[in-house]
Structure 1
Amino acid sequence: MPDYALLTASGRDRPGIVSAIAGVLLECDCNIEDSQMARLGPSFACMLMIRMPEGLVSQQLSHRLHDVAAQLALRYDVQDLRPEEASETRTEQPKHLIHVYGADRKGIVHRITRHLAEHSVNVTNLHTEVIHHESPLYVMMIEVEVPPCVDVARLQEQLAAIGSDMDIIVSMKPKDDARF
């Protein structure tokens, strides 16, 4: 029996979504160990890695979430995770933050992430936003894991060159250990 589950849910944003989901999880004696939640336009999406109590299986949790999901018009899915899969999120590889700023245009995410993938750099978190002012400003923040075999200084130079080519600013720095 799996010790963990991955719960994903999405729907039109409204107050109470997180509270309702967390309430069902609490009633089922589940613990939220890791999560990402965000509003995107009119929608809200979340991913939660939860530790399941002994005896609870993902189908039972899915059944318990049904009424809340129906009331809030949420689409959701619960997938089993083995303990070793859940621990894969905790890595010892150094983390770095990449910041991108510039005029909004197509292809920025693809060009930067393609270069990262070509160097086996893993994207662990990515956030984009267009800030609408007189001229729209595109902002992207990426958290990455850089394998030891990658020359970080060289990677920074390459990303800066991509930025120059695309007329955007790309910077990279080590991430502090502090989460908040």
Structure 2
Amino acid sequence: MSNDTESLVITASGEDKIGLVEGFTRRISESGCNIEESRMAALGGRFALLMRVSGSWDSLAKLEARMPSIAEELGLSITQQRTRPARPEKPLIPYTVEVAALDQPGIVNSLANFFARLHINIEALDTETYPAPHTGAPMFAVHMTVGIPADAHIATLRGDFLDYCDDQNLDATFEPVRM
């Protein structure tokens, strides 16, 4: 897809049920659009989707016009918005951040605050809770991808981040994304 091409960002949620992804993606394909990026998950009996689709102007318009009926047929709440790919002001290096800790409120906000203060964008973030092996203690894990400005001093940033995590009693890694 060309960087100047418009695309459609879609968010949808509803009751999780078998065939929901097939039904939704079939309607996108029938409209002549292509799924460029997507995140889908079942969370607590609910289905959530975030997706960016591309296509010709008329294909996107056809899909937009069909959205109300798709929402009704599949039992989804859907929002949509036209967009263009973002162009960063300066080159960014993708880094992966992994954090594990005893589950407690505020971990995600605290991590987000750390990166926001340094003007580092969180590009993707996933969390989960799970019982610790052997003890069953409630654990919390965060996986995120951040965009580090290419002119940042990585060793200092990594050291500051790991010091911050030590202060917060978080076990963490901070590594470049490996393709």
Whether the TM-score (by the shorter chain) exceeds 0.5 is: yes
- Deviation of 1:98 after TM superposition, in Å, equals 0.4
Q: Secondary structure at the match of 2:85?
A: helix
1:49 to 49, 52, 55: 52
Distance in 1, Cα, partners of 2:60 & 2:128: 37
Q: Any idea what the Cα deviations from partners look like across 1:12-67, whole Å, max 9, x if unmatched?
A: 21121211111111111001111121222222111111112242454x42332333
1:23-102 equivalence runs, <5 A: 23-58=26-61, 60-81=62-83, 85-86=84-85, 88=87, 92-102=91-101
2:147 to 145, 148, 162: 145
Distance in 1, Cα, partners of 2:105 & 2:158: 22
Assess, with a 3 A threshold, how the Cα gap between structure 1 residues 93 and 170 changes in structure 2: closer, same or farther: same
- Deviation of 1:128 after TM superposition, in Å, equals 0.6
2:164 to 162, 165, 168: 162
Distance in 2, Cα, partners of 1:15 & 1:124: 29
Assess, with a 3 A threshold, how the Cα gap between structure 1 residues 109 and 68 changes in structure 2: closer, same or farther: same
What amino acid is aligned across from residue 108 of structure 1 in structure 2? I
What amino acid is aligned across from residue 77 of structure 2 in structure 1? R
Q: Any idea what the Cα deviations from partners look like across 1:120-144, whole Å, max 9, x if unmatched?
A: 2111110011103410111000111
Return 5+ residue gaps in structure 1 as ranges: none
1:15 to 14, 18, 42: 18
TM-score, reference length from structure 1 = 0.86
Q: Secondary structure at the match of 2:149?
A: coil
Q: Secondary structure at the match of 1:158?
A: helix
Moved over 3 A (4+): none
Distance in 1, Cα, partners of 2:164 & 2:42: 29
Distance in 1, Cα, partners of 2:26 & 2:10: 14
Return 5+ residue gaps in structure 2 as ranges: none
TM-score, reference length from structure 2 = 0.86
1:100-179 equivalence runs, <5 A: 100-133=99-132, 134-177=136-179
Q: CA RMSD in A?
A: 2.0
The answer to whether the 8 A contact 1:21-1:65 is kept is: no
Distance in 2, Cα, partners of 1:42 & 1:52: 32
What amino acid is aligned across from residue 144 of structure 2 in structure 1? I
Q: How many residues align?
A: 171
Distance in 2, Cα, partners of 1:62 & 1:132: 43
